[in-house]
């Protein structure tokens, strides 16, 4: 039987497109009645998400706010309070765009870009969770969308700022999980694998194709890229009543990619 959620309201940051949109649509499909769609600048894409949310019978609330700015986060939660009266589910999904200059190697990254990256991940999560919790009842759900390999490995050099910021966000999720456990609010992280219909789809087509073929070759055992709906399904699972005792965990939603050992070629590992 498909999951039916009992909560009423949700906020998803960075929901105008990509994974955030997939999460918003899945929550609407599973019965959430009011869905706040945060975004930074892409009005047309946000309006499209709102239209799709409505098709599932939910009421969308568009909130244009930069999650890298504390005053914007506070304004966003002010709008939630006045329009929704409370909040049951908060998904921190937005990611700074390349324009912030975060995509730079450890020896080169400007401090300002480093700081801006942390502002949209770790600081955003700290400020947003503190604003969300007073509006949440028991059965509240907080979910951080991270990229766990970025915080555990060192090979993707220009990812240093985002990887470090995501690691800080994951750590915060564990601290908040303990702090909020007695309120019945759970706090978990989801680490998506490489996803289609996301930031990756905007890469030059040859680069996107290389990534796709890499995963289809066996580095993702399920032999496909993820979809925004896969991440939406994981969020819905964690929001279900049945997940009320799961907190402080990191869930990989990557078709098994995180199980792969990079030490030997796939053929030597018996992967055909």
Ligand X SMILES: NC(=O)c1ccc[n+]([C@@H]2O[C@H](COP(=O)([O-])OP(=O)(O)OC[C@H]3O[C@@H](n4cnc5c(N)ncnc54)[C@H](OP(=O)(O)O)[C@@H]3O)[C@@H](O)[C@H]2O)c1
Residues forming the site for ligand X (CB under 6 A): 13-20, 38-42, 45, 66-68, 93-97, 120, 145, 147, 192, 194-195, 198-200
The least CB distance from residue 64 to ligand X, in Å, is 8
Listed in sequence order, the residues at least 6 apart from 225 whose beta carbon sits closer than 8 Å to its beta carbon are 193, 194, 195, 196, 200, 211, 212, 215
Beta sheet of 59-64, edge-to-edge order? 59-64, 34-39, 9-12, 89-92, 141-145, 186-192, 250-253
Task: Rank residues 81 and 212 by Cβ distance to ligand X and give the closer one.
Answer: 212
Contact assessment for residue 57 and residue 28, using Cβ atoms and an 8 Å cutoff: yes
Residues 69 and 90: their CA atoms lie apart, in Å, by 18
Task: Rank residues 97 and 244 by Cβ distance to ligand X and give the closer one.
Answer: 97
The least CB distance from residue 228 to ligand X, in Å, is 7
Residue 42: other Cβ atoms inside 10 A: 14
Residues 83 and 270: their CA atoms lie apart, in Å, by 55
Task: Rank residues 32 and 161 by Cβ distance to ligand X and give the closer one.
Answer: 161
Which tokens in the block code for residue 257? 């990619």
The least CB distance from residue 17 to ligand X, in Å, is 5
Task: Rank residues 183 and 223 by Cβ distance to ligand X and give the closer one.
Answer: 223
Task: Rank residues 182 and 259 by Cβ distance to ligand X and give the closer one.
Answer: 259
The least CB distance from residue 77 to ligand X, in Å, is 13
Nearest to 75 by CA among 88, 58, 63: 63
Contact assessment for residue 43 and residue 19, using Cβ atoms and an 8 Å cutoff: no
Residues 75 and 78: their CA atoms lie apart, in Å, by 5
Nearest to 3 by CA among 170, 242, 223, 259: 242
Contact assessment for residue 189 and residue 251, using Cβ atoms and an 8 Å cutoff: yes
Which tokens in the block code for residue 90? 């908060």
The least CB distance from residue 63 to ligand X, in Å, is 9
Instruction: Give me the residue whose beta carbon is nearest to ligand X.
Output: 18
The least CB distance from residue 147 to ligand X, in Å, is 4
The least CB distance from residue 67 to ligand X, in Å, is 4
Task: Rank residues 186 and 198 by Cβ distance to ligand X and give the closer one.
Answer: 198
Task: Rank residues 181 and 196 by Cβ distance to ligand X and give the closer one.
Answer: 196
């Amino acid at each position: 039987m498909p999951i039916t959620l009992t909560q009423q309201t949700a906020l998803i940051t960075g929901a105008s497109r990509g994974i955030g949109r997939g999460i918003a649509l899945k929550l609407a499909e599973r019965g959430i009645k009011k869905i706040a769609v945060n975004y930074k600048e892409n009005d047309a894409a946000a309006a499209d998400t709102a239209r799709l949310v409505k098709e599932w019978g939910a009421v969308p609330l568009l909130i244009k706010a930069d999650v890298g700015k504390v005053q914007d986060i506070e304004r966003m939660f002010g709008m939630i309070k006045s329009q929704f009266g409370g909040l049951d589910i908060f998904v921190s999904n937005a990611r700074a765009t390349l324009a912030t200059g975060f995509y730079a190697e450890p020896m080169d990254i400007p401090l300002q870009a480093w700081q801006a990256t942390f502002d949209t991940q770790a600081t955003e999560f700290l400020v947003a969770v503190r604003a969300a919790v007073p509006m949440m009842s028991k059965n509240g759900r907080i979910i951080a969308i991270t990229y766990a390999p970025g915080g555990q490995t060192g090979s993707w050099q220009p990812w240093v700022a985002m990887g470090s910021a995501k690691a800080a966000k994951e750590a915060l999720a564990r601290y908040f999980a303990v702090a909020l456990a007695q309120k019945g609010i759970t706090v978990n992280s989801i680490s998506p694998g490489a996803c289609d219909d996301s930031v990756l789809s905007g890469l030059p087509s040859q680069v996107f194709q290389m990534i796709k073929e890499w995963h289809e070759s066996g580095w993702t055992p399920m032999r496909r890229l993820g979809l925004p709906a896969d991440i939406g399904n994981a969020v819905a699972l964690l929001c279900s009543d049945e997940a009320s005792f799961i907190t402080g965990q990191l869930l990989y939603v990557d078709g098994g990619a995180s199980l792969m050992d990079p030490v030997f070629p796939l053929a030597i590992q018996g992967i055909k």
